[in-house]
Amino acid sequence: MPFCLQRCAYCDFASYALNALPEGLSFTSYADALIKEAGLAAGEHGSLRFTTIYIGGGTPSLMPLDELQRVVAAMREAFDVSRLKEFTLEANPDTLGRDKLRQWSELGVTRLSVGIQSLSDRSLRELGRSYSSGGALTAFYELADELSAFDLSFDLLLNVPWQKPLQVLDDIRTLYAFEPAHFSLYSLKVEPGTPLAMRVANEPGLAPDNDRFADEMNAAEELLEESGFARYEISNFARDGKWSLHNLTYWRGGDYLGLGVNATGCINSVRTRNHREFADYRAALSQDALPIAERTELSETERAFERLMLALRTTWGISRDAFAAGIWEKLQARAEELAARHPQLIVVAPGRIALTSGGMNVEHALVVELAEGVF
- Residue numbers at the binding site for ligand SF4 (CB under 6 A): 4, 7-8, 11, 13, 15, 58-59, 92, 115
Stated length of the chain: 375
Tell me how far, at minimum, the Cβ of 10 lies from ligand SF4, in Å. 7
- Tell me the β-bridge partners of 87: 53
For residues 125 and 148, the answer to whether their CB atoms sit within 8 Å is no
Per DSSP (E only), the strands in the chain are: 3-4, 16-17, 52-55, 86-91, 111-117, 151-158, 182-187, 229-233, 236-239, 264-267, 270-274, 292-297, 318-319, 346-349, 352-355
Using the minimum distance from each CB to ligand SF4, give the nearer residue, 114 or 355: 114
Tell me how far, at minimum, the Cβ of 83 lies from ligand SF4, in Å. 30
Using the minimum distance from each CB to ligand SF4, give the nearer residue, 129 or 334: 129
Using the minimum distance from each CB to ligand SF4, give the nearer residue, 247 or 262: 262
Tell me how far, at minimum, the Cβ of 255 lies from ligand SF4, in Å. 25
Using the minimum distance from each CB to ligand SF4, give the nearer residue, 7 or 246: 7
Using the minimum distance from each CB to ligand SF4, give the nearer residue, 114 or 354: 114
Using the minimum distance from each CB to ligand SF4, give the nearer residue, 142 or 191: 191
Tell me how far, at minimum, the Cβ of 84 lies from ligand SF4, in Å. 25
Using the minimum distance from each CB to ligand SF4, give the nearer residue, 42 or 127: 127
C-alpha pair distances (Å), 220 with each of 97, 212, 225, 237, 360: 30, 12, 8, 10, 14
Residues 6+ apart with CB under 8 A from 367: 308, 309, 312
Tell me how far, at minimum, the Cβ of 54 lies from ligand SF4, in Å. 14
Tell me how far, at minimum, the Cβ of 6 lies from ligand SF4, in Å. 7
Residues 6+ apart with CB under 8 A from 18: 3, 4, 5, 6, 62
Nearest CA to 249 out of 311, 174, 167, 334 is that of: 311
Report the interhelical angle of 363-371 vs 300-311 (nearest 10°): 140
Using the minimum distance from each CB to ligand SF4, give the nearer residue, 39 or 208: 208
For residues 88 and 111, the answer to whether their CB atoms sit within 8 Å is yes
- Cα–Cα dist 202/109, whole Å: 43
- Cα–Cα dist 174/90, whole Å: 20
Residues 6+ apart with CB under 8 A from 283: none
- Cα–Cα dist 12/318, whole Å: 31
Tell me how far, at minimum, the Cβ of 259 lies from ligand SF4, in Å. 17
168 Cα distance to chain centroid: 19
Using the minimum distance from each CB to ligand SF4, give the nearer residue, 115 or 180: 115
For residues 158 and 168, the answer to whether their CB atoms sit within 8 Å is yes
Eight-class DSSP state of 61: G
Tell me how far, at minimum, the Cβ of 258 lies from ligand SF4, in Å. 16
Using the minimum distance from each CB to ligand SF4, give the nearer residue, 196 or 217: 196
Tell me how far, at minimum, the Cβ of 344 lies from ligand SF4, in Å. 35
Nearest CA to 187 out of 140, 136, 117, 129 is that of: 117
- Tell me the β-bridge partners of 217: none
Tell me how far, at minimum, the Cβ of 284 lies from ligand SF4, in Å. 23
